[in-house]
Amino acid sequence: MFRRLKYWIESARRSETLREELELHLAERAAELEADGMTADHARAEARRRFGNLGLKHEESREIWLTRFWSELGQDIRYGFRTMATNKAFSALAVLSLALGIGANTAIYSFMESILLRSLPVADPESLVVLNWHSQPPQGASKDWVHVVHSVSGLFWQGAKGAVVTGIFPYGAFETLREDNPVFSTLFGYVNGRNRTLSIRGQAMSVSAEYVSGEYFRGLAVSPAAGRLIGSEDDRPGAAAVAVISFATSQQRFGGPSNAIGQAILVDNVPFTVIGVAPPEFFGVDPAAAPGLYLPLHTNLLVDGPGTERIYRDGNHYWVEMMGRLRPGVSMAQAQAALAPRFHQWVASTAATDGERVKLPALLLHPGAAGLGSLRREYSKPLSVLLAMVGLILAITCANIANLLLARAAARRREMAVRLSLGAGRFRIVRQLLTESVMLASLGGAFGVLFAIWGVQSLTFLFSKGQENFTLHAELNWKVLAMTAALSVVCGLLFGLVPAIQSTRPDVIPELKISRGGGSRRRMQHVLVVAQIAMSFLILVAAGLFVQTLHKLHSVQLGYTRENILLFSLNARQAGHRDPEIATFYADLRKRFESIPGVNSATLSHASIISADRAGVTYRGPIKIGAVTVEGARVLVAGPRFLTTMQIPVLAGREIDDRDQPGSTPVAVISERLARTYFGNENPVGRRITFLDEKRDLEITGVSANLRHGSLKEESSMTVFVAASQISPGGMTYALRTTGDPLLYVRNVREIVREADSSIPLTKVVTQAAEIDRTISREVTFAKLCTGFAVLALLTACVGLYGTMSYSVARQVSEIGIRMALGAKRGAMIWMVLRRVLLLAAVGLAISVPVALGASRFVKSLLFGTQPNDPGILALAGTVLLGAAILAGYVPARRASRIDPLVALRHE
Amino acid sequence: MGRKAQKNDSLPGSLDMLILRTLSLRDLHGYGIVQFIQQSSDNELLVEEGSLYPALQRLELNGWIDGVWGVTSNNRRARIYTITAAGRKQLAVETRQYAKLTLAIARVMGTE
């Protein structure tokens, strides 16, 4: 049976044997001729002559066994193509679904790898440690608030059990931990410097900056692409203002790293000298942000003004992030044990009252090999869910192909039996069947590669949509691709082998006699169909949940208008404008924007409503009304006609307008919820609200309707609007309510800004609707992908169901014929087939409903306004699935009902 | 390749049969087979020696003959071929077909 295979494997050795055999033959012939009286030489020559071309004959003999293998393979492949061509629809669907399965898996996994698993491109990333702290917010504090933290600039996120987690510390904590550190060889700090105006030879652009402590580059063990990197001597008050730029910036602005060294640049109008260029692969410590500019930490005194000095001394102001590199041999647990008490002691010393002493922050070390986790936090869960879904799809696909091959093998059982009885080798037939299934799988794999490439591109596009300088560059992971492709071939072999061996079982005689039967195979097929239905249900439920979430997010009442608003930002302070002139500058600009034809009204605020909380400048210090502390209010620094422009109703009093000037009475407008909470039914207009940190008393001039800040997932909050002219922050975001498409007005806006001051770049130009959509881009992406996957799963499962049913109808032709000859109605025949479909679907559902209920809890945190066990969605998914199953079963059922009893019986 | 090897003095396709017949009488190495056919046909059938080895490979591949290394009568190492059970069956089939064929030809030629 395996002789041929053995021949092929042993072909080299056999070739040698053959040569020896031929030599012997020639020698014998020569010996004989010599005995007849020829000379030895002559005899040998004559022997050769008689034999013919020795090399050619050798080759011919060899070819007999070599080419047999290949020619048979060729036959198999040709035959395979013919079979595929005759079952075009089936083969195409099998290949397509396998390709989609492989492609989707590879693409999603490539993303997971680049987001979750890839290390920072620095030396020995494993020894890097990120320093965080966590704390339960004290009783009575707003959810993300810890009393000892008076003011912050940086991000907080939700840890386990509602704890607040963050990586930002006061500068004092950084210094304390840095001093004779027993566990870290270096401890370095960094601060997100946000976007700055970088001017080079009079050309301004907006670039993201990172303030880094003197040990930053040494700690990360990064070598410069040119020049030198920032060192400890550069990070001191009064040191020369030097900067390191990213490789990309050096290429964009200087035409190469070496040209940039020693060049003078302006960062927000402050002169710096470029001393070095970071290496091309370096993107800082956060894979989500790639700074274009690195500045020594202490230069924020120059850029942000001398007032910044206060935050170095303030132990209650949190703003520095840090990372350490473990000394050789020190474990993270040891580092945690050594540093936690030191931090505790320090942070306890910053608490002034008993109230502040409750629930102090506690140090928490995390592995830093993959850098900061902002992307990981946001995407790890969604990606795992997606990976589970595409894994299920691949499983459905495999089940489908197994089913297809089983059905086909069964249909060809007679063919096989005939061939076997005519003397075809069993191995030969198995091999041919295997060739076919491997062909299907390989074709699927090949298309899978294409899908994977396309998938990675479109996923990058989907994920990055709406995010400024999205830096995540997922590359197609060839290792994963190779694995999935290998998997597909293994699938082909495995699923091909069982039916192949079955259909060539030696009991060919009974098979020739009776054409029905194969009960075990049918059971197997039914198991596969049930599994497919169960898996499809899971995917459908997931898709339903995410689509519902998206729907809920879209129908959230914002409290302000979404449409026809153009937003853009500019920063006059960075261009050198100073108080008090800056207030007039902003006010004049607003008036000029308002006079653009087609602009109904224009206003400004320190940030857009969506990004107000992330705008860096936070006015979140304690607010009091009389003796009562206001908890959880958000402050929006807004210019005249803000409520009008945003179409937020004014419920009492008046909104902020042109009367509120730098010199006049400081005013505030509060939202209805704030008014109700602190004033009950009293009219708050004319009352006062106090900002403790700034020692400002503001007079309440109006009450607005409620609005939602930031994320759509949050409740509408208590808002305090403060007059921009009386606060004068750095940058401003303008909002224009326009007639028609807001983006049509961008040109006018640019014109006006250029006229006013050509050194101010316009940034963050976006429509309000787009900005809102951006906050739910993850959900949008997710819902789209899930819906796509659900359609794919449903389609694949239906193909499987259809295949199984039409096959089983084909096998029941004579039975149906007999029944109909005996008077069975067509409807009864349809019902007979459909009943089986429904039964299979019901079993599948019965299995998967509890699984879905259990599994959906894991996606709870990704949902909004939707319960993970939403009965409506479960019912809908079940209905869709049953509908699809009936559809897939109806076609073969109808075919069954059309069977002509006479033809059917003759068919036997 | 295989086809060309059969362009022979004898009838097409008959080389395999002749080899099988030879081996059904005694085990032989390649050269011995040539000699045997030549001698037993009174030198009427001259086996084209180059065609022999592809034929042997083909027969072995089909499982009709087996080759093992042994020693010839004059003490040389050679591959000695033995007919297998399947080979004997095949020989029977071919002999029958050959008999039919020659009879048919004889009838046509009127020599019968």
Buried b (16+ CB within 10 A) or exposed e, A88-104: eebbebbbbbbbbbbbb
d(CA A412, CA A418): 10
Contact A774, A467 (CB under 8 A): yes
ipTM here: 0.74
Indicate the SS3 state at residue A277.
Answer: strand
Closest C-alpha to A500, from A393, A395, A419: A419
> Which residues sit opposite A482 in a β-bridge?
none
- The pLDDT value recorded for residue A339 is 92
**Cα–Cα–Cα angle for B45, B48, B53, rounded to 5 degrees:** 120
Flag whether pLDDT at B85 surpasses 80.
yes
* Residue type present at position A708: R
pLDDT digits (tens, 9 = 90+) for A777-790: 777 777 888 888 88
pLDDT at A61: 67
Residue A715: is its pLDDT beyond 80?
A: no
Most B CBs within 10 Å: which of A61, A62, A65, A426, as the mutation test of the B interface? A61
A757-771 pLDDT, tens per residue? 888 888 888 888 888
pLDDT in tens, A541-594: 888 888 888 888 888 888 888 889 999 988 888 888 887 888 889 999 999 999
The pLDDT of A345-368, averaged and rounded, is: 86
Full DSSP string of A464-533: HTT-TT--------HHHHHHHHHHHHHHHHHHHHHHHHHHT-S-HHHHHH-----HHHHHHHHHHHHHHH
The confidence band for A616, taking pLDDT boundaries of 50, 70 and 90, is very low
Model confidence band, residue A11 (pLDDT cutoffs 50, 70, 90): low
Best of B31, B39, B77 to substitute, by most chain A Cβ atoms within 10 angstroms, is B31
Q: How far is B67 from chain A (nearest CA, A)?
A: 11
| The token pair that represents B85 in the structure block | 């059970």
CB atoms B61 and A28 under 8 Å:
no
pLDDT category, B4, cuts 50, 70, 90? very low
Indicate if the pLDDT at residue A144 is higher than 60: no
Q: Which of A110-114, A183-187, A529-533 has the highest mean pLDDT?
A: A183-187
Q: What is the DSSP string of A653-685?
A: E----TT--TTS--EEEEEHHHHHHHHTTS--T
Higher pLDDT, A472 or B45: B45
Contacts of B66 in chain A (CB under 8 A): none
Residues A241, A226: Cα–Cα separation, whole Å: 18
Question: Of the given ranges (A334-343, A703-712, A806-815), which has the lowest mean pLDDT?
Answer: A806-815
Better pLDDT: A195 or A584: A584
| Cβ pair A87, A81 in contact under 8 A | no
pLDDT attached to residue A422: 65
Question: Which pLDDT score, from 0 to 100, does residue A650 have?
Answer: 92
Range from A373-387, A511-525, A782-796, B65-79 carrying the lowest mean pLDDT:
A511-525
Q: Are residues A503 and A413 in contact, defined by beta-carbon separation less than 8 angstroms?
A: yes
Of B1, B34, B61, nearest to A60 by CB-CB distance is B1
pLDDT at A7: 57
Distance separating alpha carbons of residues A159 and B77, to the nearest angstrom? 82
d(CA A401, CA A442): 13
Among candidates A29, A54, A60 on the partner chain, residue whose Cβ is nearest the Cβ of B54: A60
Q: State the pLDDT at residue A904.
A: 66
More confident residue, A365 or A157: A365
Q: How high is the pLDDT of residue A814?
A: 72
| Structure confidence at residue A317 (pLDDT) | 87
Residue A122's pLDDT band (boundaries 50, 70, 90)? confident
Residues of A with CB under 8 A from a CB of B: 3-4, 7, 17-18, 20-22, 24-25, 27-29, 50-54, 56-58, 60-65, 67-68
Share of residues in chain A with pLDDT > 70 (%): 86
Here the tokens at position A307 are: 């007032």
**Mean of pLDDT over chain A:** 81
Query: What is the distance in angstroms between the Cα of A833 and the nearest Cα belonging to chain B?
Result: 48
Q: Which residue has the higher pLDDT, A83 or A263?
A: A263
pLDDT-based confidence at residue A425 (cuts at 50, 70, 90): low
Interface test with A, best of B7, B39, B53 (most A CBs within 10 A): B53
- The average pLDDT across A378-383 equals 78
Q: How confident is the model at residue A821 (pLDDT cuts 50, 70, 90)?
A: confident
Inter-chain contact A24–B78, Cβ cutoff 8 Å?
yes
Q: What is the pLDDT of residues A77-91, one digit of tens each?
A: 887 788 777 777 767
pLDDT reported for residue A743: 87
Contact call for B54 and A52, based on CB within 8 A: no
CA-CA distances (angstroms) from residue B60 to A4, A499, B19, B57? 10, 31, 11, 5
To 5 degrees, how large is the angle CA A676–CA A678–CA A680? 45
Q: Mean pLDDT, to the nearest integer, of A170-197?
A: 89
pLDDT for residue A411 is more than 90: no
Taking residue A240's Cβ as centre, other Cβ atoms within 10 Å add up to 12
pLDDT at A908 over 60: no
For position A26, what pLDDT does the model report? 80
Residue A540 has what pLDDT? 87
pLDDT for the residue numbered A382: 81
CB contact under 8 A, A22 and B53: yes
With bands split at pLDDT 50, 70 and 90, how would you rate the model's confidence at A906? low
CB contact under 8 Å between A25 and B56, yes or no, is no
Q: What is the mean pLDDT of residues B83-110?
A: 87
Q: Quick one: pLDDT at residue A212?
A: 94
Set of chain B residues whose Cβ sits within 8 Å of the Cβ of A21: 29-30, 53, 78-79
Across the interface, do B48 and A7 touch by the CB < 8 Å criterion?
no
pLDDT surpasses 90 at A898: no
Name the nearest CA neighbour of A633 among A605, A658, A660, A613. A613
Predicted confidence (pLDDT) at residue A508 exceeds the cutoff of 50: no
Residue showing tokens 């029941």: A812
Residue A465 has pLDDT above 70, yes or no: no
pLDDT band at A472 (very low <50, low <70, confident <90, very high): low
Q: What's the pLDDT band for A174 if we cut at 50, 70, 90?
A: very high
pLDDT at B41 over 50: yes
**Residue A305 pLDDT class (50, 70, 90 cuts):** confident
